[in-house]
A = this chain, B = another copy of it.
Amino acid sequence: MRISDVARHAGVSPSTVSYVLSGKRSISDTTRRRVLDSIDALGYRPHAGARSLASRRSNVLALVVPLREDVHVPVAMRFAVSVVTAARAHDHDVLLLTQGEGPAGLHRVAGSAMVDGVIVMDVETEDARVPVLRSLDLPSVLIGVPADTEALTCVDLDFAAAGAACVHHLADLGHRDIAFVGQPASVYERRTGFAERTLAGFEAAARERGVRATSHPCDPAAARTLAAELVRDRPDLTGLIVHNEPSLAPLLEALADHGRTPPETSVVALGSLPPGVAELTRVELPAEELGARAVALLMDRIDGPEHPEVTLLEPRIILGESTAPPVRPD
């Protein structure tokens, strides 16, 4: 079943069939209809290899997914799914590359023309893949922002603004003593962009508002202990910002155990939230939108001149029932 079979069946030339499929030149309505009818009468599907050989386009893009212990897997999956969905909307498929393959994977898919572009997730501030990407002559988009964005296209949530927005919300309510519960320590140690920037935004805003503020890296396993310590050691603490999805549930439980069910202590959640905490005041991670944007930007780079740019999405704070003016001893 080849293009020439379709052409014969429709009584046109192979190139006409090709043009009907690609839309790269105008075709009379009658011809188009005849061709399309033949295509689905015969169940024709173009051979992807032949197409990529002739057109120098594979209609596939590569997605590099992170694989670390400390990345929150459901978030990674949300990104991956949104990238696949968006890619399909642009008539592309997605090849899965794992972090583990490192630069070799990028060289392979680029060198053999398997993909038209790459999307890289979980970018670190000093990311070893960035120089590889620059050397590769393959369109790419990063989800995340490294230190040096020269000649790079990046999309991300404006995490600094997100961290700050949480502080401002609490400060506006009158809180004067707050704490930031962050990602596991290893995430900061490897200088993951989003974690660093959130913390920086938190600290800057707290300084600006004159709020007493501390920050605490946190593991899910240590969440209950941390909550207990905060309640014990920080009697004036009235607000908590939690930037750690899997620790959220144990933290809330521990607070409840100490009689500090929100908004007794105010809690703002930041990140990709599980169902069942919908009522919290929060800044959500727009993973679907980020994935879709990344794909859209990549498509622009694939068939257009390069527009290096950094896109930061504005955070939206959603008011829930977990924050309120502080309840103070005085």
Where the two chains meet, the residues of A that have a C-beta atom closer than 8 Å to any C-beta of B are 43, 45-53, 58, 60, 63, 67, 69, 73-74, 76-77, 80-81, 84-85, 88, 93-98, 100-101, 107-109, 111-114, 221, 249-250, 253, 275-276
Please report the C-alpha to C-alpha distance between residue A201 and residue B45 in the assembled complex, in whole angstroms.
45
Do residues A113 and B73 form an inter-chain contact, with CB atoms below 8 A?
no
By a CB distance below 8 angstroms, the chain B residues around A84 are: 96-98
Copies in the complex: 2
By a CB distance below 8 angstroms, the chain B residues around A50 are: 49, 53
Q: Select one of B48, B80, B108 contacting A58, CB under 8 A.
A: B48
Q: Select one of B53, B69, B93, B107 contacting A49, CB under 8 A.
A: B53
Please report the C-alpha to C-alpha distance between residue A74 and residue B68 in the assembled complex, in whole angstroms.
12
In order of increasing CB-CB distance, the 5 nearest A-B pairs are: A49-B52, A45-B111, A49-B53, A48-B112, A49-B49
Please report the C-alpha to C-alpha distance between residue A46 and residue B53 in the assembled complex, in whole angstroms.
11
How far apart are A178's CB and chain B's nearest CB, in angstroms? 27
Do residues A93 and B81 form an inter-chain contact, with CB atoms below 8 A?
no
Say whether, besides A49-B58, A77-B73, A43 and B111 are in contact (CB < 8 Å): yes
Do residues B48 and A96 form an inter-chain contact, with CB atoms below 8 A?
no
Please report the C-alpha to C-alpha distance between residue A239 and residue B253 in the assembled complex, in whole angstroms.
25
By a CB distance below 8 angstroms, the chain B residues around A111 are: 43, 45
Enumerate 28 A-B pairs (CB-CB under 8 Å) in ascending A order: A45-B108, A45-B111, A46-B112, A47-B53, A48-B58, A48-B113, A48-B114, A49-B49, A49-B53, A49-B58, A49-B113, A53-B53, A60-B114, A67-B81, A73-B73, A73-B74, A73-B77, A74-B74, A84-B98, A85-B98, A85-B100, A88-B101, A93-B95, A94-B95, A94-B96, A96-B96, A249-B250, A253-B253
Q: Beyond A48-B114, A73-B77: 12 further Cβ-contacts under 8 Å? A: A45-B107, A45-B108, A45-B111, A49-B49, A49-B50, A49-B53, A50-B53, A63-B96, A67-B81, A80-B96, A85-B100, A93-B109
By a CB distance below 8 angstroms, the chain B residues around A74 are: 73-74
How far apart are A323's CB and chain B's nearest CB, in angstroms? 22
Do residues A221 and B276 form an inter-chain contact, with CB atoms below 8 A?
yes
Please report the C-alpha to C-alpha distance between residue A98 and residue B95 in the assembled complex, in whole angstroms.
12
Please report the C-alpha to C-alpha distance between residue A41 and residue B41 in the assembled complex, in whole angstroms.
50
Do residues B48 and A52 form an inter-chain contact, with CB atoms below 8 A?
yes
By a CB distance below 8 angstroms, the chain B residues around A76 are: 77
Please report the C-alpha to C-alpha distance between residue A318 and residue B151 in the assembled complex, in whole angstroms.
52
Please report the C-alpha to C-alpha distance between residue A46 and residue B63 in the assembled complex, in whole angstroms.
21
How far apart are A92's CB and chain B's nearest CB, in angstroms? 11
By a CB distance below 8 angstroms, the chain B residues around A109 are: 93
By a CB distance below 8 angstroms, the chain B residues around A51 are: 49, 112
How far apart are A120's CB and chain B's nearest CB, in angstroms? 15
